[in-house]
């Protein structure tokens, strides 16, 4: 077994190396659908208190691995830790999601934004990474992550969640230079943050571009992908002699897969609005270097019966086809009301049904 891992399927698949079956992990796999997570969060007192405790963050990171035969763990944290460390006053209002007390509404405010030192202002995240890595003891690889600059900027300028994106898109169109200033600062901050996670034990990285899909193709290229490419260019890609693969995931961005494939990333995350086999074939035909695909089951499939879940798993596997380079996942985060028994059905089905696709 390579990389000092007892289970290295996830890393091998991202590197297009042979695997015995398709690896699977689940976005938000440590979350509210698990009763043990809800109990730990109640013990912590609040979501951010949970994030700030290395021991509790480790506890919830490992909880899904005790239930399911998952092929990777992902750091328990939040995408908004970086803007929080920049001093915008993050809080989580009950039923409303994240809120920033000091949203960015002027160039002066953006110019004054500090770039946090992740080993200091974000020390609690690094402590969680190192604690989780030790606790895993090579069981499966640990994924570190961040939000993309564009996604972070939407929350920082809007002041919280939004459906209209009025302030951030208004800034993008009316004062693009200031928008680029913010995104450039964020790309530096995210690069530092992810590299610190690698130095503290992360074995793979993922950038969540949750809101890139709300942009037009031209604006996606200029205001989202451009900055993710800058991050990829600045990341530690080898640590202690081992490859550190990176995945870029733009929700709603499957139509841009061929362009994302040129970013230098090792994997592209896909949501359920595209066919994974069609994307694979288009990349192969374009002659792009081999890049792994992650996804892309609709999370709502998990509300169905075991038979339907297995049918949908079989469909996604058949669409991707034979060979390595596929990491099975949902097309977005798991819903909070999913029955954990359905998740076990999913994980076991992926491993069982994918083996013929990896036979010689």
Q: What is the mean pLDDT of residues 278-283?
A: 95
Ligand-binding annotation for 30, yes or no, is yes
Tell me how crowded residue 143 is: count the other CB atoms within 10 A of its CB.
Answer: 21
Structure tokens at 88: 């915008």
**Whether pLDDT at 281 is above 50:** yes
Annotated binding residue 210: yes
Determine what percent of the chain is predicted with pLDDT higher than 70.
Answer: 98
Question: Please, what is the average pLDDT of the chain?
Answer: 95
Looking at residue 72, its pLDDT comes to 98
Residue 155, marked binder? yes
Best CA proximity match to 223, nearest among 206, 209, 235, 233: 209
Q: 57 and 130 in contact (C-beta within 8 Å)?
A: no
Q: What is the pLDDT of residues 62-82, one digit of tens each?
A: 999 999 999 999 999 999 999
Point out the residues that are catalytic: 28, 32, 41, 78, 155
Write out 146-173 in H/E/C secondary structure: EECHHHHHHHHHHCECCCCCHHHHHHHH
- How much of the chain exceeds pLDDT 90, in percent? 93
Q: Which residues of 72-103 are buried (b: 16+ CB within 10 A; e: fewer)?
A: bbbbbbbbbbbbbbbebebeeeeeeebbbeeb
Q: Does the predicted model carry a pTM greater than 0.95?
A: yes
pLDDT of res. 341: 98
| Length of the chain (residues) | 360
Tell me how far apart the alpha carbons of residues 357 and 109 are, in angstroms, rounded to a whole number: 53
Binding residue per annotation — 266?
no
**Is 332 annotated in some ligand binding site?**
yes
Judged against a pLDDT cut of 90, whether residue 3 lies above it is answered with: no
Residue 289, pLDDT score: 65
Q: What is the mean pLDDT of residues 95-111?
A: 91
Instruction: Give the pLDDT confidence of 127-166 residue by residue, as tens digits.
Output: 999 999 999 999 999 999 999 999 999 999 999 999 999 9
Q: Where are the domains of the chain?
A: 9-358
Is residue 273 a contact partner of residue 331, using CB atoms and an 8 Å limit? Answer: yes
**If pLDDT is split at 50, 70 and 90, which confidence band does 259 have?**
very high
CA 200 – CA 194 distance, rounded (Å): 10
Both tokens of residue 83?
Answer: 């803007």
Residue 1 has pLDDT above 60, yes or no: no
Least confident span in 266-280, 284-298, 312-326: 284-298
Contacts of 264 (CB under 8 A, 6+ apart): 229, 232, 233
In CATH terms, the fold of domain 9-358 is TIM Barrel (3.20.20)
């Amino acid at each position: 077994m390579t990389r000092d891992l007892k289970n290295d399927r996830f890393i091998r698949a991202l590197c297009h190396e042979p695997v015995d079956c398709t690896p699977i992990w689940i976005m938000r796999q440590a979350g509210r659908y698990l009763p043990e997570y809800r109990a730990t969060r109640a013990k912590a007192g609040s979501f951010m208190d949970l994030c700030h405790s290395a021991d509790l963050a480790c506890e919830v990171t490992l909880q899904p691995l005790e239930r399911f035969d998952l092929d990777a763990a992902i750091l328990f944290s939040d995408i908004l830790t970086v803007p929080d460390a920049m001093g915008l006053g993050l809080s989580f209002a009950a039923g409303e999601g994240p809120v920033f007390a000091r949203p960015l509404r002027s160039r002066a405010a953006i110019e004054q934004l500090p770039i946090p030192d992740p080993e200091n202002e974000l020390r609690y995240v690094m402590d969680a990474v190192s604690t989780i890595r030790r606790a895993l003891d090579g069981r499966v690889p640990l994924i570190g992550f961040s939000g993309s600059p564009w996604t972070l900027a939407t929350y920082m300028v809007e002041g919280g969640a939004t459906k209209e994106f009025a302030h951030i898109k208004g800034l993008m169109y009316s004062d693009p230079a200031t928008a680029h200033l913010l995104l450039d600062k964020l790309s530096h901050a995210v690069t530092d943050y992810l590299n610190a996670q690698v130095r503290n034990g992360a074995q793979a990285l993922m950038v969540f571009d949750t809101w890139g899909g709300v942009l037009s193709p031209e604006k996606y290229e200029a205001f989202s992908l451009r900055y993710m490419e800058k991050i990829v260019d600045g990341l530690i890609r080898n640590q202690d002699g081992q490859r550190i693969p990176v995945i870029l995931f733009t929700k709603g961005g499957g139509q841009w897969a061929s362009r994302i494939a040129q970013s230098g990333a090792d994997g592209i995350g896909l949501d359920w609005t595209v066919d994974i086999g069609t994307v694979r074939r288009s990349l192969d035909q374009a002659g792009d270097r081999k890049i792994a695909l992650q996804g892309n089951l609709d999370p709502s499939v998990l509300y169905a019966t075991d038979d339907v879940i297995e049918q949908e798993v079989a469909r996604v596997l058949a669409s991707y086809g034979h060979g390595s380079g596929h990491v099975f996942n949902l097309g977005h985060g798991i819903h909070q009301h999913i029955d954990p028994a359905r998740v076990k059905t999913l994980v076991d089905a992926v491993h069982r049904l994918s083996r013929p696709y990896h036979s010689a």
